[in-house]
Chains A and B, each alone.
Chain A
Amino acid sequence: MNLNRTPLPLSSLPSLHKASLVASALLIALSAISVQAFCGFYVGKADSKLFNKASKVVIARGGDTTVLTMANDYQGDLKEFAAVFPVPVVPKEHDIKVVPNKIIDKLDAYSAPRIVEYHDPDPCRPRMYRSAATRSAPLAISSFPKSKAPVVKIEAQYSVEEYDILILSSEDSKGLESWLTQEGYKVPAGASKVLGSYIKQNMKFFVAKVNLEEQATLGYTTLRPLQVRYESKKFALPIRLGTVNAAADQEILAFMLSPDGRVECTNYKTEKLPTGMDLPQFVRSEFKDFYRDMFYYQVAKAKKKAVFMEYGWDMGWCDPCAGDPLTPSEQLTLGCTWIKAGPGKVDASAKAKESEYRVQSGDTVFSIARKKNVSMQQLRARNSLAASRIFTGQTLVVPSADYKPVFSVPRPTYVTRLHAVYNAETFPEDLVFQATSDKKNFQGRYVLKTPWKGKADACPAAKTYLETLQKLKGQRVDNLVELTGWDLAECRKKAGL
């Protein structure tokens, strides 16, 4: 795999370091195996089910436009799947999309807390540094089995890829609850109160189930993330339905994308995860447990009342990179509406491969794109459609399959990764967010410093180095215990103290 690594600022290294850096780089270039190590040596591979009970959502907010993408890790019988959540307005069909899972995974990998390895330089002569990173894994959405029933108004009904979508509204919360239960959406008992609160605020309900024939035709093995876009002054994530009668705490990973800067919660405390500590070497093989235990320990320390920020960074770069940043095209797919896809220059050979298409009644950009085997982005960009609708009789240019739109990113996207554990008591309200213009960088980053493996008599500096090393080892164990709450004696034993 390819890790984009921002290079060390060479000017900051003393010249001896620079020389050895160049020499090592040459050596590495010559050795095929080492090239891979240089580009990306993972300290360890994170299991993708590290926090296997957490939901993943991506919320892109530009102006008053919110685009909410929910990852879907439902594992059970597809007949039984259903998702219900409130939305402020009735979305139109072109506002609902299915996006590839791998984009969310990529965003997760890019922003995940990372373990970075450095090598202590030989105290007798300088050595170059290598760093590598690893990622933790994201989570799944909890969903209800579905069913059907009346008594509510079906505001809209859509079929989007493998999903059948209903937008419901109701005057009566108990009626809505029984409707959903009868239809097979197993809504927990007592949800009517929460539903009632949403109903009184004129919210609609987005209800999704799997269309089994479509799903079989499309041939995907897992359910793909659903995305809905709407315009509203409300910038909030509705979590209350998930906490009704829930036996255990719920968990969520929210990736907030904004052109302004860091996004924070206004009605709950947003805390930064402790970061940057040196840790003992044995964490290398236990880093999954380390990160999971550390996170839950910090949650407990905050009495479960805080939302944690794990990453905050301008998506144009990273240092060190645990994964690639999203391309403008991927950002646009996740709803970064401030990125514009323009037609760019189309040369004669590409023009030859293009065709025209006359829009018929009932067509959508999505259906045309599918029919003509191009992506929606390509179709929109080539015709400068942006967010505008198409109308019957319009003539569209269908670009060639390898047409690349030109993206303009007037304002770079800032991603805030928020991680929260919540239940009905500690988080009684929905999360309300606001964007700030804070673009300072923050990342969860934990450091392993591999010691030099020389002997004390190698040179005079070596003895001092080894003495300091013992002290540092103790400090690193203390750091670890403070972060995770692990047993001090056991950690000292594992660290060899």
Chain B
Amino acid sequence: MSTSFPPIHELHPAAPQPGRSGVVAMLTFVQQSVLRPVRFLGADPRHYQIAMLSMFLGFGLFAFDFGMRPAMAAFTLASALGLQFLCGKMVGLPRFDPRSPLISGLSLCLLVRTNLWWIALLAVVIAIGSKFVVRVKGRHIFNPTNFGIAVVLLLTSGDFFPAILPEKALWVSPGQWGTGLVLGFFFACLGFLVVFRAARMDVSIAFICFYALIVYALTFYLGDPVAIAHRRLTNGALLLFTFFMISDPKTTPNTRGGRILFAFVVALIACEFQYNLSYTALAAFGVEAGWWWLFPANAVFYALILACAALPLINRLLPGAVYHWPGQQKQISSTN
């Protein structure tokens, strides 16, 4: 014990000298060992996010049986970090910052599933690579994790066109978390911590509100029990998306108005792809046609990638200050 910890009075100049009251010494010890990590967590919103995502991943791997393999998760994280390092070196970034690739890797592990190593690598390459390649005015516009997921889904799911890569090689499991008020509350609380710190609470709240509005409207129109709407809103995958994906400050509009518009667009497109609202609307007028798209699991990812594609337009219409991570200088073009 004595070798691993420096004496208390060396940790903090104001710490009590040895020999003082034991209680005071203990309190100071707590201050150092608890508050300092908390302050570290709070220094950058990404730290909270990494902590939360790691905790969820831990649950998914070891507590609940999500069918994830720890080896696959480790591989995904390692390749995300490695690729960020390589790309950073190639474009000449001054420092290797592991935080964004960690978030990308953790999100990928949590949200999608695959049994093929090369598909996992492809998703990582597309995700991290998009930050460096798809840029407008010196900034990447696509949420990297979402871009990686959406592109691989497009290539494997057969949703919009026949699968080019092995069918269903990558999939999203919205059912794995179950649903329910407790789960929803849990996710929401943790999510709040993250988005509040990143000053992107408005995107998440606006998204979930618009989504809820649309789902309630659909449920009410169909005459379904309201329990159906509640189930759809407390889905774990949806809440993970709301608080940990769409809220990326770097790939959301710069102004509050822009962000609310952005959230509305994502919610509308997501519901359209998930429930084919336009089909139900046309059916009300007696139009006979089959569902032309129904993607119960993949809808939110397609919606976000489409909305991000419209980001430069939204930012042009509603211009505002560009977001920077705490401590980041304005001159350096960001890839984090």
- CB neighbours of B65 from chain A (8 A): 271-272
Q: A365 to chain B: closest CB distance in Å?
A: 24
Q: Are A202 and B171 in contact (CB under 8 A)?
A: no
Partner-binding segment picked from A72-80, A258-266, A282-290, A481-489: A258-266
Chain A contributes a number of interface residues (CB within 8 A of B) equal to 39
Known contacts A89-B290, A233-B290; decide if A434 and B171 are in contact (CB<8 Å): yes
- CB neighbours of B171 from chain A (8 A): 434, 436-438
Q: What sequence of 0s and 1s flags, for each residue 202-230 of chain B, a beta carbon within 8 Å of any chain A beta carbon?
A: 00000000000000000001111101100
Bound complex: CA A432 to CA B175 (Å): 10
- CB neighbours of A424 from chain B (8 A): 225
Bound complex: CA A235 to CA B169 (Å): 19
Chain B contributes a number of interface residues (CB within 8 A of A) equal to 45
Q: Are B290 and A232 in contact (CB under 8 A)?
A: yes
Identify which of residues 427-454 in chain A touch chain B, using a CB-to-CB cut-off of 8 Å: 428-429, 432, 434-440
- CB neighbours of B167 from chain A (8 A): 260, 437
Name which residue of chain A comes closest to B163, CB basis: A260
Q: Are A439 and B173 in contact (CB under 8 A)?
A: no
Name which residue of chain A comes closest to B219, CB basis: A197
Name which residue of chain B comes closest to A89, CB basis: B290
Q: Are A440 and B178 in contact (CB under 8 A)?
A: no
Bound complex: CA A267 to CA B299 (Å): 13
- CB neighbours of A234 from chain B (8 A): 291, 294
Q: Are A432 and B296 in contact (CB under 8 A)?
A: yes
- CB neighbours of B113 from chain A (8 A): 436, 438
Q: Is the interface of A mostly helix, strand, loop or mixed?
A: loop
Known contacts A88-B290, A437-B168; decide if A269 and B224 are in contact (CB<8 Å): no
Interface core residue of A197, A424, A425 (most chain B CB under 10 Å): A197
Q: Are B291 and A200 in contact (CB under 8 A)?
A: no
Question: Which of B168, B222, B290 is close to A197, meaning CB atoms less than 8 Å apart?
Answer: B222
Instruction: Judge if A479 is at the interface, Cβ distance under 8 Å.
Output: no
Q: Are A200 and B222 in contact (CB under 8 A)?
A: yes
Q: Are B283 and A200 in contact (CB under 8 A)?
A: yes
Q: B64 to chain A: closest CB distance in Å?
A: 9
Q: A320 to chain B: closest CB distance in Å?
A: 23
Q: A359 to chain B: closest CB distance in Å?
A: 29
Q: List 28 A-B contacts (CB under 8 A).
A: A89-B290, A193-B223, A196-B223, A197-B222, A197-B223, A200-B223, A202-B279, A202-B283, A233-B290, A235-B294, A261-B168, A264-B175, A266-B174, A266-B175, A266-B297, A267-B296, A270-B176, A272-B65, A306-B178, A425-B227, A429-B231, A434-B297, A435-B168, A437-B115, A437-B156, A437-B171, A438-B115, A438-B171
